[in-house]
């Protein structure tokens, strides 16, 4: 039986548009920093992609800084903290690329640069009812770097009426572009101070020869993703997600669908079943031909309870019993129902063993 991929929040399959753009970019020989014709041709690809990404997120092309990943973009944003109170803080539900830089475990409310995700990767729950997080009260709390990695390409990037964040980060491979390229969006009046220093590429904001092939794919994916969002393509995905949850609810009476009653991404279902370890479910579904992910995280081979779920109030034992199903535009109702049937069969076996 053909395998079914249901882990789009981890990475989304490469779009045809991105693949075509990357293949074409492979034949462009010049270095984008060179001034001859070949170099200018490569530079043109980079700048065209910069416009495409800017149009997806609603910013100026000059505000887009290409990086090697969203993780690098996060590090570049955090490196600007001296301009914003000298401290960086993030919620326990944030991605590790932010938590690794936390100055303090407890936020005392003083002026600082703060990380806030527009949508949580594990649960799909949106912040600020889907609006990208605006800067907080500058007299009290500080400014915001907003992670839009999960909403970009799935929902319109809509800004709060209170304004835009100071920085945003996103990644190509979450929206059908290649792995290994991301971007920092800088809404401040000052260019970010580079953490990678050298040749002064990206207008001095990030040194290192640009990944022209990856950037071309990023731009093409961003353009295609924008078109899909505007056409309402993700509404069908939301319907599939709802079909999945309703089907599981018929027999999984004690299963919790985390964030179900909150505004969330159209494609994400966090499924929590007490006593059934998330990593066990992932392995069982993998053997059955379905790729999903666990709500728990692995570090050096040690499985931990999801810190996102524990931060939401679930105890460690329960927080270790979640899986995430994240759908994509290519998934079908037949695939969703096949997954539901396979998962329910495994649930019955689990309940029989536990009885």
Q: Which residues are catalytic?
A: 298
* Cα–Cα distance, 235 to 284 (Å, whole number): 29
Cα–Cα distances (Å) from 21 to 61, 181, 220, in that order, read 19, 14, 6
- Pairing of β 131-132 and β 88-90: unpaired
- Residues 124/259, Cβ–Cβ less than 8 Å: yes
DSSP string, 6-34: -BTTT-PPPPHHHHHHHHHHHT--S-TT-
C-beta of residue 247 within 8 angstroms of C-beta of residue 271: no
- Taking the alpha carbons at both ends of the chain, their separation in whole angstroms is 32
Q: How far apart, in whole angstroms, are the C-alpha atoms of residue 43 and residue 196?
A: 20
Indicate left, alpha or beta for 130 from its phi (over 0: left) and psi (-120 to 50: alpha).
Answer: left
d(CA 76, CA 259): 31
Q: Following DSSP, what letter does each residue of 97-149 receive, concatenated?
A: HHHTT-S-SS--S-SEEEEEESB-TTT-BBSGGGEEPPP--TTTTEEEEEE-T
Residue where the block lists tokens 């040194």:
207
Pairing of strands 293-294, 322-326: antiparallel
């Amino acid at each position: 039986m053909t395998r079914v991929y249901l882990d789009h929040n981890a990475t989304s399959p490469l779009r045809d548009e991105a693949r075509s753009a990357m293949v074409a970019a492979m034949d462009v020989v010049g270095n984008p920093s060179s001034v001859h014709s070949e170099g200018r041709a490569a530079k043109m690809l980079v700048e065209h992609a910069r416009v495409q990404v800017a149009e997806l997120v609603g910013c100026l092309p000059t505000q887009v800084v290409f990086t090697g990943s969203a993780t690098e973009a996060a590090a570049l944003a955090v490196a600007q903290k001296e301009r914003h109170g000298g401290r960086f803080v993030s919620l326990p539900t944030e991605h590790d690329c932010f938590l690794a830089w936390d100055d303090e475990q407890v936020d005392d409310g003083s002026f600082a640069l703060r990380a806030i995700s527009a949508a949580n990767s594990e649960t799909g729950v949106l912040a600020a009812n889907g609006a990208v997080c605006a800067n907080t009260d500058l007299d009290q709390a500080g400014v915001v770097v907003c992670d839009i990695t999960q909403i970009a390409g799935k929902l319109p990037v809509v800004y709060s009426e209170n304004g835009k964040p100071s920085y945003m980060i996103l990644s190509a491979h979450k929206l059908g572009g290649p792995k290994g390229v991301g971007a920092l969006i800088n809404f401040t009046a000052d260019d970010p101070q580079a953490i990678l220093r050298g040749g002064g590429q990206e207008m001095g904001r990030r040194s290192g020869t640009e990944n022209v092939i990856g950037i071309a794919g990023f731009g093409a994916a961003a353009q295609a993703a924008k078109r899909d969002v505007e056409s309402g393509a993700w509404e069908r995905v939301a319907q599939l997600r709802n079909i999945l949850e309703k089907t599981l609810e018929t027999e999984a009476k004690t299963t919790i669908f985390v964030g179900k009653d909150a505004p969330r991404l159209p494609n994400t279902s966090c499924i929590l079943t007490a006593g059934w370890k998330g990593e066990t479910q992932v392995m069982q579904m993998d053997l059955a031909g379905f790729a999903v992910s666990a709500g728990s995280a692995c570090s050096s081979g040690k499985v931990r309870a999801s810190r996102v779920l524990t931060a939401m109030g679930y105890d460690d034992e329960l927080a270790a019993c979640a899986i995430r199903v994240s759908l994509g535009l290519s998934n079908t109702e037949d695939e969703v129902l096949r997954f539901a049937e396979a998962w329910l069969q495994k649930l019955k076996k689990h309940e029989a063993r536990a009885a």
